[in-house]
Amino acid sequence: MPSECTEPLTCPFGELATNLSDSELRETAYEILVGARLSSGGKSSTYASDSEKNSERAAATPQTLTSRAASKVKKALGLRSRRKKASEKAESERVKKVSTIGETMRVQMRVSEQMDSRVRKALSKVAADQKIESMVLPLEMLQQLKPSDFPNQEEYEAWQRRNLKLLEAGLLLHPLVPLDDENTAPQQLREIIDGALEKPLETSKNNETMQALRTVVLSLACRTSNNIGSVSETSTHWADGFPMNLKIYQMLLEACFDVNDETSVIEELDEVLELIKKTWLVLGMNQMLHNLCFLWILFNRYATMDQAEGDLLSAGNNLLIKVENDAKAMKGDENYCRMLSSTLGAILSWAEKRLLGYHRYFRSDNAESTMGCVVSMAVLSVKIMEGGEGISNEDHIEGNEMDVGQEKVDAYIKSSLRGAFVQASFQCLFHYNYVPATQCAKYKMRK
């Protein structure tokens, strides 16, 4: 498809009710990732110096950036391995940089070595005694890091504001467990956050405001969904409310694309996804939610990046087939169904815009492969959203699916032929001066 058809798409996950930027969400996602890895027994469970980290990288020869076994996930989704240019091969041979998967994620998520050191230093102190799912990460970070850990006071205050906004978003604006109107904790937390946003918070353990913050944060984060008044001692809920968890998870999945080539999926995809799965307990994710999120990431990357990488579209189509099965199992989950509807609605809207005028959007050299994939995604999206309510006979289901597909394809053909005929008619009439220039200008504007 031509690059002029590329357009930004609205993320279907919803918007946060606070002004957390993508970079702030990415930093948060990285902190959760490191914390999850450390608390699950990953390497460097204690703070490592730069020299120690370099030694660890040098010892990780089976997991290098330049030598990696074929990805099972890529094969399953139909994603091609990127072919390196001769110049890239020569550079990799010259540098011979060896990396752990953790270092790969640091680079992919655009995290500086200085920030990485701070995060590991802070989390190494708490990960030894606590599992990642039992801590409120922003609260722990606030207590572990001091102004002296940052290049300057301004950077420290910006970092502190981010953690306070995370507490506000996760506990007050997008909590997993709805807030109780009779509970005074939300108001107390708002007052502490408002005060800290005006004047930086003193975070020493003996500080009265910090002690109050810890008490109120834990009282809100430890509530369970089974009983609004009950408290859980094994898990906290500060980043698993919708859509906050999806926004953070999106930042992790974006790291699957090469930071130097935005349309290319990295060779370490299997290892990266395994590492990302360690965050599921904190973010309230599961395989079905992951499939739906990854579907959007792949599709959105194709649709907004010149639509040149057809294997991204094909991978999205293959993942959509899995989502079709997931949707049947997750019918009773309100959050999943809402996310499913908005995601498939966005895909369908994009696809039908092109299919209803496919003579304009597709060329002869990509019609068979690309257009076939777009048709498949459009028809599948409609079938999933309709849900097959009230149908119990398998033959009836298959017949119904065929009817939906045939109706859609017929509509695409008729609409596109009509558009092509109108376009050809105007061009012919204008060529012979049968159409006034003003009328032709209106046609061109509609086009």
Within this chain, do residues 207 and 322 fall inside the same structural domain, yes or no?
Answer: no
Which whole number is the average pLDDT over 49-59? Answer: 45
Asked whether residue 180 is domain-assigned, the answer is yes
Global pTM exceeds 0.75: yes
Within this chain, do residues 26 and 121 fall inside the same structural domain, yes or no?
Answer: yes
First to last CA, the chain: 16
pLDDT(69) > 80 = no
Within this chain, do residues 209 and 355 fall inside the same structural domain, yes or no?
Answer: no
Count CB-CB contacts under 10 A for residue 140.
21
Asked whether residue 404 is domain-assigned, the answer is yes
- At 360, the pLDDT band (50, 70, 90 cuts) reads confident
Domain that holds residue 126: 22-221
Asked whether residue 1 is domain-assigned, the answer is no
Asked whether residue 129 is domain-assigned, the answer is yes
Within this chain, do residues 428 and 315 fall inside the same structural domain, yes or no?
Answer: yes
Domain boundary among 204, 221, 238: 221
Distance CA 120, CA 262 (A): 28
Within this chain, do residues 312 and 215 fall inside the same structural domain, yes or no?
Answer: no
Q: Which residues contact 442 (CB under 8 A, 6 or more apart)?
A: none
Domain boundary among 189, 221, 253: 221
**Which of 91-95, 196-200, 367-371, 421-425 is least confident?**
91-95
- State how many domains the chain has: 2
Asked whether residue 250 is domain-assigned, the answer is no
Phi and psi, residue 231, nearest 5°: -125, 135
Asked whether residue 205 is domain-assigned, the answer is yes
Within this chain, do residues 315 and 216 fall inside the same structural domain, yes or no?
Answer: no
pLDDT at 175: 96
Query: What whole-number percentage of the chain has pLDDT above 90?
Result: 57
Is residue 175 reached through a cis peptide bond, with omega within 30 degrees of 0 on the bond before it?
no
Asked whether residue 431 is domain-assigned, the answer is yes
Distance CA 282, CA 270 (A): 21
The average confidence (pLDDT) of the chain is: 81
- At 442, the pLDDT band (50, 70, 90 cuts) reads low
pLDDT at 226: 59
